[in-house]
Amino acid sequence: MSDPQPILELRNLYAGYGETEILHDINMFVGSHEVVAIIGPNGAGKSTAIKAILGLLNIRGGEILLDSTPITNTPPEVAVTKGISYVPQTHNVFVNLTVQENLEMGAWTMRAGIEERIEKMYALFPDLRDKRRQAAGSLSGGQRQMVAMAKALMVDSKVLLLDEPTAGLSPKYRGEIFETIQKINATGVPIFIVEQNAKQALGIADRGYVLVDGSNRFTGTGAELLADREVARMFLGGRD
């Protein structure tokens, strides 16, 4: 179950914005077929961990490896070419572009095969096909998340990073998103997901990390963490 060669690894990572340090000695990895969840209280540094991978912050110590190649402090536009697909929490679609155009933008770094890719995305997200000429901003929250994910997957993703994909969505859409995430994973894309919605996230995750105050606190398989007393007490009680 645990691969010898993780696709993405954070080792002894210290990172933050400017002078402030937010992440202290973080260690995490994602195996090549896994769904890995990061959960934790607000301000724990979950989104920061994702942004660090993308080179959006100041990395003071440690390293980040993609397929065993260091990518620490690589700027985002380069990270994308290396196969890191990222869906931010907010502003994750081009609201004034149509669904189709959003996907085309997602494929900016591709030379050829764009049409086939778009077809594959419509196959994976059937709802979007009908709406492809609609402005992305006019879609519902859940549909927008689909567009955001499809756009991110246009390139040959080595790993997909999702930052709180179900934030602000109704329960129905939340369920759909988690199903979609599993579908994407089934096509062979490893997924690293940050979630406030701990219970459902752990429910689909192979493994999880619990971050508190910028440091690793717990780790284990999805099932283990769901069953853990302390984790349950901290995050799972009364949620969802």
Partner 1 sequence: MWASFGFEFVNFYLIPGLVLGCIYALGAIGITLTFGILRFANFAHGEVMMTGAYLTWTISTLAGLWLGWSLHPLIAAVPAIFAAIGILILIDRYFYKPFRNAPTIMVVMASFGMMLVVRSTVQFIWGPNQLTFVKGIDKPNEAVRQFTADLDLMILVPNKHFWIMAGTVIIMLCFTYLLERTRIGKAMRAVSDSPDLARVTGIDVEAVVRATWVVGGFCAVAAGVFLAMDIQFLETTMGFRMLLPMFAAAILGGIGRPFGAVFGGLIIGLAEELSAYPWIGDAPLISPGYKTGVAFTIMIIMLIVRPSGLFKGRTF
Where on the chain is the footprint of partner 1 (CB under 8 A)? Answer: 54, 56, 76-77, 80-81, 86, 88, 91-97, 101, 104-106, 108-109, 151-152, 155
Backbone φ, ψ for residue 191 (5° rounding): -130, 135
Distance CA 199, CA 121 (A): 28
The nearest distance, CB 77 to partner 1, in angstroms, is 6
Position of tokens 């992305």? 136
Q: What is the DSSP secondary structure assignment for residue 106, as one 8-state letter?
A: H
Q: Which one, 2 or 109, has the nearer CB to partner 1?
A: 109
First-to-last alpha carbon distance for the chain, in angstroms, is 29
Q: Are 38 and 207 in contact (CB under 8 A)?
A: no
Alpha-carbon span 223 to 95, nearest angstrom? 38
Q: What count of other Cβ atoms lies within 10 Å of the Cβ of residue 93? A: 25
Residue with smaller CB distance to partner 1, 54 or 201 = 54
Which is closer to partner 1, CB of 106 or CB of 214? 106
CB 89 to partner 1: min, Å? 12
Nearer to partner 1, 148 or 205 (CB): 148
Would you state the structure tokens that stand for residue 72, as one six-digit string? 């620490």
Size of the chain in residues: 240
SS3 139: coil
- Judged by CB, which is closer to partner 1: 184, or 210? 184
Q: From the CB of 97, what's the least distance to partner 1, in Å?
A: 6
Quote the least distance from Cβ 83 to partner 1, whole Å: 10
Give the shortest CB-212-to-partner 1 separation in angstroms: 27
